[in-house]
Each structure stands twice: as structure tokens, then as C-alpha cells.
Amino acid sequence: MKKDKPGSDSACSFIRSHLVAIAEKDVPGEAFPGVRDHLDSCPECASLVRQFSRAWEDPAPQEDTEPSASFFPRLIERIEAEERPWAGRQGALALAWRVLKPAAVAAIFLGGIFAGNELGKRDRAILAPEAAFSGQVLESFENIPSGSVADFYVSRQNPEKEGLE
């Protein structure tokens, strides 16, 4: 008998973990004599294998798998309802709705993206950076009172300006 793991090689545990194979007589060749000998000597395992094999042979008796008496009449009612003239029109509407619904959702989604983009463009109407910056700086330089501390520093930073003046 092949041993799976040291210490867990009891015959009963092997039987328990190979019940399906034993019930189908699909036990590996080398293990078969050991299984047979063990079943001869262990009444618990023999009983378990016997029970399991019986259950496995017929796992689901057909006692509760019959439809009710109203099964066929209800089926015919359903078919007749399907074949009524207005049912076809309803079916066409349902089909149209199934196609149009995702298209409508997609159109709303894309419309939202487009509208958001357009609104964003309107808010971001700003001057080019160079123009904005140079305009502000020149304006502030022109407003410096002559003889002030700021004027002194600006003159020191830019001696050319003094010379020009």
C-alpha cells in the first residue's frame, strides 16, 4: 500500500479518502490487495464502503423529480400568450428598448463630457503667461516713487537704467 505521509498511513483513513475510487473499483493496482485485506478485517470500514457503494450506485432516486399536473397547461398558456397578435408588437417594443436603452445612456454620458469640456474652456480664458507677467511688472516699476528705498534698490540692481536716465 502506498503511504501518503509518514504518520498518517492508517488503512481506515486511506479508505475514507478513496471512497469514490473504491466504489468505482478504480483503486490503484498496488493498493488493491491491501484495501481488500483491510476490508476483510475491519467491519467499520467494510460497512462504510458497502453503504457508500450503494449510495454511489444510485445517488438520487427519482422520487421527487416529477412535475406538477399544471406543468403542461401553464406551458401552453405561456405559448398562447406569446403568439397573440399584440404580443409580437410588445416583443418588438421590448427589443427596441433593449437596444435603445444602452445607446441613450451612452449619449447622455458623452453629452456630459462634452458639456463639461465646453464649460471648462470658458472659465480658463486667461492671458498668455509672458504678457500677463511683463504687464504687471512694468506697471509696478513705473509706480515706484523716486527717491524711495525701493527706487534705490531698483537703481542698484539695474545701473543701466540710472545711466539712461
Partner 1 sequence: MEDGDLLRRIAAKDLGAFKTLVNRYQNRVFGLCSRLLCHPQNTEDVAQDVFFQVYRSSSTFRHDCCVSTWIYRIAVNRCRNFNRDNRKFGEVAKLRQDLENEAWSGPGSEAPDGVDPASALTLYETRALIRKTVASLPEKQKEMLILNKFEGHSYQEIAEIMDVSVASVESCLHRAKLNLQKRLAPQFPDLCRGRKF
Binding string, residues 142-161; x marks residues near partner 1 by CB under 8 A: --------------------
Binding to partner 1 (CB under 8 A) within 105-124 occurs at none
Piece of 5-13, 93-101, 115-123, 143-151 that binds partner 1 (CB under 8 A) = 5-13
What type of residue sits at position 164? L
Binding of partner 1 at residue 32 (CB under 8 A)? no
Task: Report the nearest approach of partner 1 to the CB of residue 109 (Å).
Answer: 26
Q: CA-CA distance, 40 to 15, in Å (whole number)?
A: 13
Size of the site for partner 1 (CB under 8 A): 46
Binding to partner 1 (CB under 8 A) within 62-101 occurs at 62, 64-68, 71-72, 74-76, 78-79, 82
Binding string, residues 41-60; x marks residues near partner 1 by CB under 8 A: xx-xx--x--xx-xxx-xxx
Dihedral, 32, 36, 42, 48 alpha carbons, nearest 10: 80
Q: CA-CA distance, 4 to 18, in Å (whole number)?
A: 12
What type of residue sits at position 58? D
Task: Report the nearest approach of partner 1 to the CB of residue 92 (Å).
Answer: 16
The DSSP annotation for 59-128 comes to SS-GGG----TTHHHHHHHHHHHHHSHHHHHHHHHHHHHHHHHHHHHHHHHHHHHHHHHHHHHHHT----
What type of residue sits at position 70? S
- Computed from CA positions of residues 156, 160, 163, 165, in that sequence, does the dihedral angle turn out positive or negative? negative
Binding of partner 1 at residue 21 (CB under 8 A)? yes
Binding site for partner 1 (CB under 8 A): 1, 9-21, 24, 34, 37-38, 41-42, 44-45, 48, 51-52, 54-56, 58-62, 64-68, 71-72, 74-76, 78-79, 82
